């Protein structure tokens, strides 16, 4: 399990090594348990701030995902209109880990409430059938979230 202490340690260990990219811990995944890190900056691109890592996560129906508060100030909440019919919405507390199990196939859009309009959003895709894909595309978003969701959906369908 990833802890804040591990993360701080790895940051410290790498400081002074020159221009190494941000020391981002890899999200831990087992067969049916996955994690999404909530970060202040993208690991590969420090200019992209406030991100879910990974931004797109594909899982099997029935798998669980834990949102991990690697950096402070973030949460994950399902976006209204962007989860399949019959699925349970979620709204995690800022700075707290939250585990959600995905029992309904489809696409799930989620947002960080404090950074939604700045584009801190992501997609979780459960299973190979996406009954709600057209519905998901119709949802409107403020600011940068619009562009990021559009990019993620394009990536997903590519
Ligand atoms: Cu955030």
Taking the centre of ligand 1 as the mean of its atom positions, its distance from the CA of residue 151, in whole angstroms, is 18
Q: Which domains does the chain have, with CATH numbers?
A: 27-157 (2.60.40.420)
pLDDT given for residue 16 in this prediction:
37
pTM of the predicted structure, to 2 decimals = 0.84
CB-CB contact of 99 with 65 (8 Å): yes
For 59-109, what is each residue's pLDDT tens digit?
999 999 999 999 999 999 999 999 999 999 999 999 999 999 999 999 999
Taking the centre of ligand 1 as the mean of its atom positions, its distance from the CA of residue 10, in whole angstroms, is 22
In a 13 Å sphere around the CA of 127, the CA atoms on its Cβ side amount to 16
The answer for residues whose C-beta is within 8 angstroms of residue 18's C-beta and 6 or more apart is none
Taking the centre of ligand 1 as the mean of its atom positions, its distance from the CA of residue 62, in whole angstroms, is 26
Query: Which two structure tokens, joined as six digits, stand for 55?
Result: 């931004």
Taking the centre of ligand 1 as the mean of its atom positions, its distance from the CA of residue 87, in whole angstroms, is 23
For 28-70, what is each residue's pLDDT tens digit?
788 899 999 999 988 888 888 999 999 999 999 999 999 999 9
For 141-158, what is each residue's pLDDT tens digit?
999 999 999 999 999 999
């Amino acid at each position: 399990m990833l802890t804040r202490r591990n993360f701080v340690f790895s940051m410290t260990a790498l400081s002074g090594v020159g221009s190494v990219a941000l020391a981002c811990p890899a999200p831990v995944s087992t067969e049916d348990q996955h994690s999404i890190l909530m970060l202040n900056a993208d690991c590969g691109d420090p200019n992209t701030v406030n991100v879910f890592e990974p931004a797109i996560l594909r899982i099997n129906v029935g798998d669980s995902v834990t949102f991990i508060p690697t950096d402070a100030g973030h949460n994950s909440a399902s976006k209204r209109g962007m989860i399949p019919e019959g699925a349970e919405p979620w709204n995690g507390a800022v700075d707290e880990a939250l585990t959600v199990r995905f029992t309904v196939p489809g696409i799930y859009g989620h947002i960080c409430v404090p950074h939604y309009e700045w584009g801190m959003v992501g997609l979780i895709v459960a299973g190979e059938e996406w009954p709600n894909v057209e519905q998901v595309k119709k949802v409107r978003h403020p600011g940068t979230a619009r562009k990021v969701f559009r990019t993620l959906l394009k990536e997903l369908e590519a």
